[in-house]
Chains A and B, each alone.
Chain A
Amino acid sequence: MDKAKVLINRFGLPRIIIVAFLLVLLVMAVMLDIPLNNLISDALVRTGMNGILVLAMVPGILAGIGLNFGIPIGIVCGLLGGLIAIELDLYGFQALFTAVAISIPLSLVAGYFYGLLLNRVKGSEMTIATYVGFSIVSLMSIGWLVLPFTSEDMRWPIGTGLRTTITLQGRYERILNQWGSFDVFGVTIPTGLLLFMLFFCLLVWLFLRSKMGVAMIAAGDSPKFATASGINVNRMRVVGTMLSTALSAVGIVIYSQSFGFIQLYQAPMFMSFAAVAAILIGGASIKKANIANVLIGALLFQSLLVVSLPVANKVLEDVSSLAEIARIVISNGIILYALTQIGGGE
């Protein structure tokens, strides 16, 4: 009995509620004859494609800047990397890795300046970050129009600027998802995608155990303690911000390859909310986060979205106009619930 209590406490009530909700949806899905194997495949893919974006929250939280609502900065850098890979007319893994390789230095530089900004607004990082995110998305909407890209695959056939969605078909669409993928009981396992995500989780895990990682966590946990231990708190916050930004840049490249499209203009506007919701559902708080929070959170949040939509569609079949509204209500509802869990698992 006590042991069960301890286990429940460990896992946390919010997660139990979410899991229960998910199970109810799954039962409904079975009753409505929605094929489960497809749902599970989808959930795995979405977990993998969002995982690194969720992972990007971890260094921010641990460095003390809170939930990094400013990941659109990194996302924009990642998108640039993706576009440059197309501009260079690359294909396959070469294109994918070039995109990653270009986006990382770009995002590190952007993250550095963003970190300097956050050091000046201590205490209200999250509000500022949200608006920095909005601003950079809007600014880059102009950028997408004026940047000198020439590839016909990306430009509007008439007029100037880049298209809103650029297909990756034939270049590196789903290239990771398909790498080493196999079927079990009709469920497709996107091996490459999951491995890639886990590899980045491993990198972050290793970083957190390094000298600098320990210093960063101390700085985020208690700036006063860190200062008295000779740690440069501001520098550690910048490091955390740079890492978070770089991870979100890699995250969007992976997201795009799985999605099959690069989405420009307003698309990155609200992407931070999904990542924030996922890590909160995973049990993180604004002060504490770990890799397990990322994996559990990404899986639960994305599974909920994947399962709830077809169920809602089926239930509201006759009033098809409501299905889209139901989708928005559900996804924002989950985000809202996650934000109420901001205190974390304690």
Chain B
Amino acid sequence: MKTEHNNEHYVLDMRDIGKEYYGTRVLSGINLKLRPGEIHGVLGENGAGKSTLMNILFGMSVIHNTGGFEGKVYVDGEETFIESPVEAMYKGIGMVHQEFMLIPGYSITENIKLNREITTPGILSRVAGKKLETLNMEAMNKDARKALDKLGMNVEEWVKVAGLPVSYMQFVEIARELDKENLKVLVFDEPTAVLTESDADKLLESMRMIADSGIAILFITHRLDEVKRIADRITVLRDGQHVATKNIEDTDVFDMANLMVGREIKMDSAKSVSSEGKAVKMKIRDLYVDMPGELIKGVDLDIYEGEILGIGGLAGQGKIGLANGIMGLYNSEGKVEVDGQEVVLNNPEKALKQGLAFVSEDRRGIGLLLDTSIELNIAVTAMQMQEQFIKRVGPFTQKDNKRIREHALKMIKDLDIRCTGPQQITRRLSGGNQQKVCIARALTLNPKVLFVSEPTRGIDVGAKKLVLDTLLQLNKDYGMTIIMTSSELAELRMISHRIAIVNEGKLEGVLPPDASDVDFGLMMSGEYHKVKGKEVKTDG
């Protein structure tokens, strides 16, 4: 089977790839062609379908266990069906992982040669077979040296991986892939995410070197400037759709940002509201939060009375850490004030008592008592923090079941929680209804400021709208100040008055919800200030 470009040779050609998980379409109509020796950037927001595409390429079991995929994959012009990562390796497709897959206690050589060791027959192997042949360390070291030299690494090959600097580990990973003789395609998954700037530069250089030796590189990233620097072509995915494939000369950082974020369906975005004259409800100064994977490194932010502030940004950049830190769930430092009163950090009890409430992104872990009734879930925090629903006789207390029931019934009605009754346990509720129980619990506290993290994660489209409408209504009817964190920019733009974008643990900027896609794209990839310089105002 040849296409119309039959004069061109592709090492990898993925045609019309689609994938459904349990009836939810996550990929459709993706075409990806790789020429030998090119660096091909794959761009997309979280959830755009990058990882699913790679899972398909590597024949991961999550793909095969969920009904396979649509479309065809050609390697070197030959139709191929890759059933497992091992097979992908034999076909010459390698990957440098985001999290290093190295064994710390082994030397660099041993890591590079793991499971592909060079062996010579020994006494034992004659009796017990090939598995017990002796390692030929000399040949292995030589191979490892060769691979390391290709990368310009002068570290000794017998050094143990444990204790190596992060960038070295990254290079060992790459060396391991290079050592595979038939390597044709090498996938880099966010390789610079963990590196310092100078190390990242070095990495990009060696990527260029590898490509020049004829190996095609798939470069998955959201750092647009790096793509612009080294890629030959780019492919942009959005919401599982193939948006564009372009030569790098035909595009620039703005264009890429636009393609990455761009909206196809026009939705009502909230009107940007001038913050002038409004009282500051919450003041955040120099906040640091030590939440693993979502570090906040010095954020200053003012939240105005009665606004919905959206907090956006890519995964791992820190946006989740903000609410968790202020609520005292992770160690934090800095100064936070509500209504002029300083919030005690690192103490959930004090934070709650000062009128903050939190709907966690970890609904099933932190948000709910899964085997407890809806009514008690709604009441428990208010019961503990504010002595609501408590009957008291001297030092003795009893929960007030009647009032708990009344309140739960009211909440079930107000928020339209679909359930068999207030006594149903929350484990049996659907995601959307579980989320509403979490919101009901937070509302029961009558908070001054409500934090909501990822309110629509893992719930279906219809329920998403209901949850967002609920938040909007709370804001309108009661003037509640809401800080909503979400990975989905679209929903932030739907209901927030202002949107703060967090990048690398710092506040990149605040945008109005009707700002252009380009601005959002640039901010989320941390390019905004580099590109726009100082002449653009950053506050909405």
Interface string of A225-249 (1 = CB under 8 A from B): 1011111100000000000000000
Report B53-90 CB contacts with A as 1/0, cut-off 8 Å: 00000000000000000000000000000000000000
Q: Does A120 contact B (CB under 8 A)?
A: no
Stretch at the interface among A18-26, A162-170, A210-218, A310-318: A210-218
State the Cβ distance, B353 to closest chain A Cβ, in Å: 7
Q: Is A171 an interface residue (CB 8 A)?
A: no
Q: How far is the CB of A29 from chain B (nearest CB, A)?
A: 40
Chain B residues lying within 8 Å of A231, measured Cβ to Cβ, are 349, 384
Instruction: Tell which of B370, B385, B387, B399 has the most Cβ of chain A within 10 Å.
Output: B399
- CB-defined contacts of B338 to chain A, threshold 8 Å: none
B358: which A residues are within 8 A, CB to CB?
228
- In the bound complex, residues from chain B placing their C-beta under 8 Å from that of A122 are none
Residue contact A229 to B399, C-beta cutoff 8 Å:
no
Contact segment of B44-52, B360-368, B462-470: B360-368
Contact with A along B394-431 (1 / 0, CB 8 A): 00111100000000000000000000000000000000
Name the interface residues of B357-383: CB closer than 8 Å to any CB of A.
358, 360, 362, 365-372, 376, 380-381, 383
Q: Which residue of A lies closest to B386 (CB)?
A: A230
What separation, in Å, do the CA atoms of A244 and B7 have in the docked complex? 80
A215 to chain B, nearest CB (A): 5
| Cross-chain contact A206 with B398 (CB below 8 angstroms) | yes
- Is the CB–CB distance between A221 and B372 below 8 Å? yes
Question: Is B362 within 8 A of A224, CB to CB?
Answer: yes
Residue A209 at the chain B interface, CB threshold 8 Å: yes
- Choose among B348, B387, B398 the residue that contacts A230 (Cβ–Cβ < 8 A): B348
Is B108 on the interface with A (CB-CB < 8 A)? no
With A209-B398, A211-B397, A224-B362: A230-B368 Cβ-Cβ less than 8 Å: no
* CB pair A210 B352 closer than 8 Å: no
Are A230 and B384 neighbours in the complex by a CB distance under 8 Å?
yes
B349 touches A212 (CB 8 A): no
CB of A15 within 8 A of chain B?
no
Q: How far is the CA of A181 from the CA of B370 in the complex (A)?
A: 45
Residues in chain A near residue B372, CB distance under 8 A: 218, 221
Chain B: minimal CB distance from A233 (Å): 10
Whether a CB of chain B sits under 8 angstroms from the CB of A222 is yes
Chain B hits for A46, CB < 8 A = none
A208 (CB) vs chain B CBs: closest residue: B399
Cβ–Cβ contact A212 & B368, under 8 A = no
Interface flag for A174 (CB, 8 Å): no
Is B230 located at the chain interface by the 8 A CB criterion? Answer: no
Q: Which residues of B contact A227 (CB under 8 A)?
A: 329, 348
Q: How far is the CA of A124 from the CA of B224 in the complex (A)?
A: 48
B336-352 at interface with A (beta carbon < 8 Å): 348-352
User: B365 and A214: CB pair below 8 A?
Assistant: no
| A210-B371 in contact (CB<8A) | no
For chain B, the bracket of interface size reads: 20 to 34
A230–B327 Cα distance when bound, in Å, is 10
The count of residues in chain A whose C-beta lies closer than 8 Å to any C-beta of chain B is 20
Would B380 and A229 count as touching, CB distance under 8 A? yes
Please measure, in the bound complex, the distance between the C-alpha atom of A288 and the C-alpha atom of B362, giving whole angstroms: 23
B534 to chain A, nearest CB (A): 41
- For window 183-232 of A, CB contacts with B under 8 Å fall at 206, 209-212, 214-215, 218, 221-222, 224-225, 227-232
Asked whether any CB of chain A lies closer than 8 Å to the CB of B244, the reply is no
Chain A residues, CB < 8 A from B385: 229-230
Using known A-B contacts A210-B399, A212-B397, A214-B380, determine if residue A230 contacts B349 with beta carbons closer than 8 Å.
yes
CB-CB under 8 A from A214, the residues of chain B are 376, 380, 383-384, 399
Given known A-B contacts A228-B360, A228-B366, A215 and B384 have beta carbons under 8 A apart: yes
- Given A206-B398, A230-B348, are A211 and B387 also a contact pair (CB < 8 Å)? yes
Task: Check if A211 sits within 8 Å of B383, measured CB to CB.
Answer: yes
Residue with the greatest number of chain B CB neighbours at <10 A, chosen from A210, A211, A218 = A211
Tell me which residues across on chain A come within 8 A of B387, comparing CB atoms.
211
B301 proximal to A (CB < 8 A): no
The 6 residue pairs across chains A and B that have the minimum distance between CB atoms: A230-B349, A229-B381, A211-B397, A230-B352, A210-B397, A224-B366
13 contacts between A and B (CB under 8 A): A206-B396, A206-B398, A211-B390, A212-B397, A214-B376, A218-B372, A222-B369, A222-B370, A227-B329, A228-B348, A229-B384, A230-B350, A231-B349
Residues of B within 8 A of A (CB): 327, 329, 348-353, 358, 360, 362, 365-372, 376, 380-381, 383-385, 387, 390, 396-399
**Besides the contacts A214-B384, A218-B372, A230-B348, what 12 more A-B pairs have beta carbons closer than 8 Å?**
A206-B398, A210-B399, A211-B397, A218-B369, A218-B384, A222-B366, A227-B329, A228-B358, A229-B384, A230-B350, A230-B351, A231-B349
